Structure 1
């Protein structure tokens, strides 16, 4: 191998070379190439001398030859942008080390040594927000996936497990709070106004779970008593201005701890659990052992600044990161190809928790909506990959909806097949077998086979096969029952042309439309390419309710008559099946409109009449609560509609959807007005009734705005103004402003200005202000976003702010797909500006452009042109390079 060297460098160190240029094509990393690391690192001691512009790190690594790996005298320690100031082996200066690219290579003569490396870093200059960086005067870390190598040289891979002892020293005035993983074992004052703290984490962990926070922070304290009687000290650390907005997060944490004990038998294993809220953060949160670092968005909440959706998100993310303590920390991943082992499993756990804390049917529908709007397009596009990928160039690009959300659905299918009790037995066996290990997806599947009694030989295909299966269902009456013919196909995806059949658990029931009798639910396993099954049925005119509860992450193709869809949408006893029938009814009508088909296909009045009648039933149905009613009122999104077409014209889709919404708003104006008046009389509490009322109140405004903009503007203005009175909520305020932002009304400008002035000192709420305008239906939304990008409060350096404007804009299909390509150009400009600052965030903006193959030719050419412009930029990061090259194919 080539080792970069120069005779000397400006600092006089003969071992350092000028950084070589990035290769034109970053190397491909293959799952099949995995080998255990040659050295164990059982113990790590880190000593930090802290400063915003200069932090010195001394790392003592106890290393020993790994008997399970190929023997090698060379210890490779990963680095990224680091220069070693000193390298010692067993206390003596080591001069035989070399640099290979960014990595430090040390040749060791014996089987066990202590390697000491001193580095110096500049946290204030770290705009990537990976490793140790400065945020608003504090220091914090983000090490997943490969950020630890930006702090010190280390074998930065998830299968190297170590216990950590961490000592931090810094000026007390700058950093009165010093936090790290594990339990606090010592603290004290030093010289010249400094102080120190020492933390010890007794549980072996990979380097990606390391965390450090130092700053001037306030803390809300509480405690939790575990099921075995141990007292755990809880702390949520925030800036002084955010004190008082952490009560919901603390209660969410305590509920999560209790739920995990009761449902999964998992008890917390340290004496301290801390959370820190950070305003500059690439992700939502991070599960570092005992010290979870969170984006402020998922910690801070009060009625005046957070919506009901924000409250739910805080609770869900708090739970997700806490549940990682076992499904991710105590058992971690052998390699990054196994990412879904911890993320898919933990997403399922947080989904089940949220179902238990609120409305299970509504939560299920919300989760499916996310899957269909984000993961299904991913599965059918150039970035398609299995939940356990076979290769990658940059691992941060695989923190995807496929790994997380589809990964959760795959494990949920195991739970459906086994039932809750047997699934729990499989989980118990998994935790028992692999506690303290770096495991694989295969380890989890084996535990499910042995503990839950499942045969998962064919099921393993879900882990290795990309794409969304499509299941076609045909129903025929036969003597004594109904014959179902089910067939499955999975479209070809990049690198996987031929697909094998996967086991698909389908919950179904037969209803009798003639009598209104609802049938019992049964579970059917579709295992082959085609399968016939006969179900007993005594009555006439059976209607099939299939994939109830969304029992499998598949696309169902069924040729149901509109009358049958109307029956299911109005009568089905499974909430998801009812929602699904409503969606199918709307999709069928809108696709006909987009294709220009005659409305007679849907009856004399066309499909919209059937939709109107079902919505009228939903509005009048006292058997459902407003939370569920709100879900049934949400029309399929434009992205989901585009997925139903081989090639989509975003303009035609938008026009058809808005036309239907406007017609329904006019046809049911009285009903929507009555709904808004009724919901407005409900108090501003946080029980299900009040949350549901707020939900349907804004949904009613959405339809009225399309059908009668003047009336909607009056109601939205009144809703906004009432929400600003004492006791008002951000949910109503944001709902009213959402509608006003899309209208040409004098109240629009006035209320947007009022919202900004009211909340200008709260960054999270100003993020909402940017997003509301970027995603609005206003005809000048594109121009508004271009202007907002020049606003004094806008910056690309804060990921939340960048996403609040530009990711919200990408979700606004009509504006993003402006016929002239201005939206595509703006996003490409954003990628090029962000990439040198924060590659991880920049790369997230590439996939929407990568959908060009599924868009009509005129727009597709413009999208591809912008991808090519990005690809031509010099020195693209690995993150962005991989996304662009795969998107161009």
Structure 2
């Protein structure tokens, strides 16, 4: 068991570095049993520090074997420096000096996938957040920025491709079958953006001409068997570059932009300057092997990492507490890109559904933290939904308050003012203020206060005076370390609907004229009222249009009003949201019936609304698919004060079967019509085709609940004849969740045999089975862990099987005997020693133990305590477990 509590790092303790690194010159000698790293650091005293006696220089370093160390060409002896498990300390003798060091590291043993490691036969790096210290001794902090020159040497036959950041400078042969290449990055960057790749890789090449007329070489490197899966990523990259020029005025700055696909990677991708390293799942996509969702994910992640070239690389964060400065801002940017490439409304629906299901749960749990955290033990634990997704929502609110033109002025000023600097959230907000003459001081509470605000709204209509008053009351629950909160600035976009469904003109009391039919109100006080005048009839408010703020809205809509909004609201997001609220009310009623032991009976109004929806062929097919989707069990769990997993599952399954029964004919018609088009049309990865397949597949998922022979036949035809993974995988999933055991087993076997040599497709095969709510889920997962295609060493496999089971298969994971909890705890204990980052991320379902009944709480808490007592824990796992039990 751990005997020392890891050190807590606090934002308030930030101090500028004593020393800076102007130039970094690295030489890597790659061998199969070791790697030699030679580093020359050209350093100086930070001029921002007060003059006086030179302080000691403390460099970061972990798991390094020091071979030699020199200061200004003077070889240092053992008495000239001190080495600990995390640092190397020495005493400079001048304001400017050069450090030369040589170390031995072992990437071939590196299972944590931080620093330099091997993925299969390839050398690669992952240095964010603090992985560079596992490569050489360095000031491994984001506010130390340096130019880098990197030389890599390796066996030419095994590693013909040698890559690093920047532009290629020189290359050559050695006498012993080895070769070398030197790369130079002229832009100052922190060490976390360093990258190196060496391997036997093939390349897809293209080019892009920037607005100023420069030609940029584009290259995507993959292992030979994946060379036919790169075109979608390349097309996405070119679209991203064009979009960033047009929307943000940002032009790429190097002569070459490279992406490398890596099979073993803890994250989705990494924005290293000029050499982006991607999890292979985030770059490889072809119709036969990747779903529509995977194609859209590739497009979004390629855009995200490319956009980081400015929002993260050219302007980076001063310290890791400012992480959302680059991640939240860039998620906001990639969401805008994806919205423009596809359906803006559907993109918004997807983002909000994910945020409310998972980030709101994070806000309500023991790991709740503000967008800019005040402290952490392990920075890897703060690559969270709060920093990324809520951080993006905070940036979106700034745009909502300032308008798109004002936001663009602010971003232009931010990039111009801070190019080449490591800055803070305050610098970003200040640029927005200065560009628009705005005061965002109260708004910044979104960065410092944790939790999800609640916004309760009440109405009052005066027919005689023709006034309509909305009163807003905001509050925010206590979170760890923050028992009370001050009022936020909450932008509420709204409209008022007349009896015929049209938007009424909006004029507030005191205004000379109406200000449009949809507008933004800034709620800044704990309680605040707004009175609209010249309202000739009692309106129905459409509140929080486009989900204009990440809050929990409370307004007493009845079911008839929700049906009206579903049919008439001019805001597409709020039409969907009305359907979700109606479904939540109906499902909540069914949960209550189940808990009381009553026969389940569903409100027919939901069926009527869905029937109308299916009959309206003028609606976007993607929107129809989204509106047909019932709220997930995970979202219903998040809404519950005490989650009754079994009742939620029973209620939702009953509702699905009732919809399938009542709406069989329109569902069958829409399915057949869309499937006919699919059979006659080659696969295209465009929004229109995505929408058609989405509607076709959700219809099939309902229809299979009927257990009718003609539907089974259609499902098998789709599985056998589909020319794309979207249709094939959906057919497999509905078979796996059906009572047709023989057909299910045959389809699973055929799928595995056909795709056994494609790791990413096999990950989908694992996930389909791990997510099945049919009885015996845990036993299936245990069995699948012994499959030849599964290994705990690969993060994608772990997420596909263990993560899918614990996060998506709630009824099996939360079995009353606690076996699901024991299983997850066992995997965390095992992974703690292999890959602490993945181990800590797997813990999330157990950290929410307070959400469940007393018996499950005790079982989940026991497993957390068992993990804590299991031996020496990584700081990653220790932080999550200890905070969860506090």
TM-score band, normalised by shorter chain = over 0.9
Q: Give a deviation string over 1:72-91, Cα, whole Å, max 9, x none.
A: 43111111111211101111
Q: Give a deviation string over 1:799-852, Cα, whole Å, max 9, x none.
A: 001111011111211111111111111111110111100000110011110111
Please say if residues 759 and 789 of structure 2, whose CA atoms lie closer than 8 Å, have aligned partners that are also in contact.
no
Counterpart residue number, 1:31: 11
1:681 counterpart SS class? helix
Tell me by how many angstroms 1:398 deviates.
0.1
1:243 counterpart SS class? helix
2:229 counterpart SS class? coil
Find out whether 1:61 has 2:56 as its counterpart.
no
Counterpart residue number, 1:9: none
Q: Give a deviation string over 1:508-543, Cα, whole Å, max 9, x none.
A: 11112x323233211111111111111235443421
Counterpart residue number, 2:752: 756
Tell me by how many angstroms 1:709 deviates.
6.5
Tell me by how many angstroms 1:707 deviates.
4.2
Please say if residues 417 and 505 of structure 1, whose CA atoms lie closer than 8 Å, have aligned partners that are also in contact.
yes
Tell me by how many angstroms 1:613 deviates.
0.8
Q: Distance in 2 between matches of 1:831 and 1:244?
A: 36
Q: How does 1:129-208 map to 2 (within 5 A)?
A: 129-208=113-192
1:540 counterpart SS class? coil
Tell me by how many angstroms 1:591 deviates.
1.7
Q: Distance in 1 between matches of 2:413 and 2:711?
A: 56
Counterpart residue number, 2:586: 589
Tell me by how many angstroms 1:607 deviates.
5.7
Which stretch shows the higher mean deviation, 140-149 or 736-745? 736-745
Counterpart residue number, 2:511: none
Counterpart residue number, 2:556: 559
Find out whether 1:223 has 2:202 as its counterpart.
no
Classify 1:863/1:431 alpha carbon distance in 2 versus 1 (closer, same or farther; 3 Å). same
Please say if residues 641 and 851 of structure 2, whose CA atoms lie closer than 8 Å, have aligned partners that are also in contact.
yes
Classify 1:736/1:539 alpha carbon distance in 2 versus 1 (closer, same or farther; 3 Å). farther
Find out whether 1:615 has 2:610 as its counterpart.
yes
Counterpart residue number, 2:522: 525
Find out whether 1:80 has 2:80 as its counterpart.
no
Q: Give a deviation string over 1:644-688, Cα, whole Å, max 9, x none.
A: 122111111111111111111111111111111111111343243
Find out whether 1:278 has 2:262 as its counterpart.
yes
Q: Distance in 1 between matches of 2:578 and 2:682?
A: 32
Q: Distance in 2 between matches of 1:52 and 1:838?
A: 21
Find out whether 1:685 has 2:683 as its counterpart.
yes
Which stretch shows the higher mean deviation, 514-523 or 794-803? 514-523
1:844 counterpart SS class? helix
2:834 counterpart SS class? coil
Pick from 817, 830, 834 the counterpart of residue 833 of structure 1: 830
Q: Distance in 2 between matches of 1:165 and 1:818?
A: 55
Counterpart residue number, 1:506: 492
Q: How does 1:692-707 map to 2 (within 5 A)?
A: 692-707=691-706
Counterpart residue number, 2:95: 111
Unaligned runs of 5+ in 1: 1-20
2:583 counterpart SS class? helix
Which stretch shows the higher mean deviation, 458-467 or 52-61? 52-61
Find out whether 1:399 has 2:398 as its counterpart.
no
Q: Distance in 2 between matches of 1:158 and 1:785?
A: 41
Q: How does 1:594-743 map to 2 (within 5 A)?
A: 594-596=591-593, 608-682=603-677, 683-686=681-684, 687-708=686-707, 712-723=711-722, 728-743=723-738
Q: Distance in 1 between matches of 2:634 and 2:709?
A: 28
Tell me by how many angstroms 1:710 deviates.
5.6
Counterpart residue number, 1:12: none
Q: Distance in 1 between matches of 2:473 and 2:701?
A: 39
2:68 counterpart SS class? strand
1:492 counterpart SS class? coil
Tell me by how many angstroms 1:112 deviates.
1.2
Please say if residues 383 and 887 of structure 1, whose CA atoms lie closer than 8 Å, have aligned partners that are also in contact.
yes
Q: How does 1:453-464 map to 2 (within 5 A)?
A: 453-464=437-448
2:187 counterpart SS class? strand
2:289 counterpart SS class? coil
1:202 counterpart SS class? strand
Classify 1:475/1:275 alpha carbon distance in 2 versus 1 (closer, same or farther; 3 Å). same
Tell me by how many angstroms 1:22 deviates.
6.7
Which stretch shows the higher mean deviation, 388-397 or 185-194? 185-194
Tell me by how many angstroms 1:214 deviates.
0.4
Which stretch shows the higher mean deviation, 707-716 or 252-261? 707-716
Tell me by how many angstroms 1:23 deviates.
5.1
Q: Distance in 1 between matches of 2:460 and 2:48?
A: 59
Q: Distance in 1 between matches of 2:467 and 2:659?
A: 39
- Give every structure 1 segment of 4 or more consecutive aligned residues whose post-TM-superposition deviation is greater than 4 Å: 604-607, 709-712
Find out whether 1:516 has 2:501 as its counterpart.
yes
Please say if residues 510 and 537 of structure 1, whose CA atoms lie closer than 8 Å, have aligned partners that are also in contact.
no
Which stretch shows the higher mean deviation, 27-36 or 612-621? 612-621
Q: Give a deviation string over 1:439-487, Cα, whole Å, max 9, x none.
A: 0000001001011332101001000000001111112211213111111
Q: Distance in 2 between matches of 1:468 and 1:537?
A: 35
Classify 1:773/1:537 alpha carbon distance in 2 versus 1 (closer, same or farther; 3 Å). farther
Q: Distance in 2 between matches of 1:505 and 1:52?
A: 57
Counterpart residue number, 1:494: 480
Counterpart residue number, 1:47: 27
Counterpart residue number, 1:414: 398
Counterpart residue number, 2:814: 817
Q: How does 1:111-510 map to 2 (within 5 A)?
A: 111-478=95-462, 479-510=465-496
Counterpart residue number, 1:546: 543
The count of corresponding residues between Structure 1 and Structure 2 is 861
TM-score normalised by L of structure 2: 0.95
Tell me by how many angstroms 1:617 deviates.
1.3
Counterpart residue number, 2:507: none
Q: Give a deviation string over 1:427-446, Cα, whole Å, max 9, x none.
A: 00000111100000000010
Which stretch shows the higher mean deviation, 671-680 or 338-347? 671-680
Higher relative contact order (CA 8 A, sep 6+): 2
Tell me by how many angstroms 1:623 deviates.
2.8
TM-score normalised by L of structure 1: 0.95
Tell me by how many angstroms 1:63 deviates.
1.0
Q: Distance in 2 between matches of 1:533 and 1:711?
A: 57
Q: Distance in 1 between matches of 2:3 and 2:62?
A: 15
Classify 1:855/1:415 alpha carbon distance in 2 versus 1 (closer, same or farther; 3 Å). same
Which stretch shows the higher mean deviation, 523-532 or 346-355? 523-532
Classify 1:684/1:23 alpha carbon distance in 2 versus 1 (closer, same or farther; 3 Å). farther
Q: Give a deviation string over 1:278-327, Cα, whole Å, max 9, x none.
A: 00000000000000000000111110001111110000000000000000
Please say if residues 594 and 651 of structure 2, whose CA atoms lie closer than 8 Å, have aligned partners that are also in contact.
no
Please say if residues 127 and 194 of structure 2, whose CA atoms lie closer than 8 Å, have aligned partners that are also in contact.
yes
Classify 1:82/1:23 alpha carbon distance in 2 versus 1 (closer, same or farther; 3 Å). farther
Q: Distance in 2 between matches of 1:710 and 1:770?
A: 27
Counterpart residue number, 1:861: 858
Which stretch shows the higher mean deviation, 201-210 or 612-621? 612-621
Pick from 531, 534, 559 the counterpart of residue 534 of structure 1: 531
Find out whether 1:747 has 2:746 as its counterpart.
no
Q: Distance in 1 between matches of 2:467 and 2:340?
A: 37
Pick from 568, 571, 574 the counterpart of residue 571 of structure 1: 568
Please say if residues 713 and 739 of structure 1, whose CA atoms lie closer than 8 Å, have aligned partners that are also in contact.
no
Counterpart residue number, 2:801: 805
Tell me by how many angstroms 1:712 deviates.
4.5
2:693 counterpart SS class? helix
Classify 1:23/1:289 alpha carbon distance in 2 versus 1 (closer, same or farther; 3 Å). farther
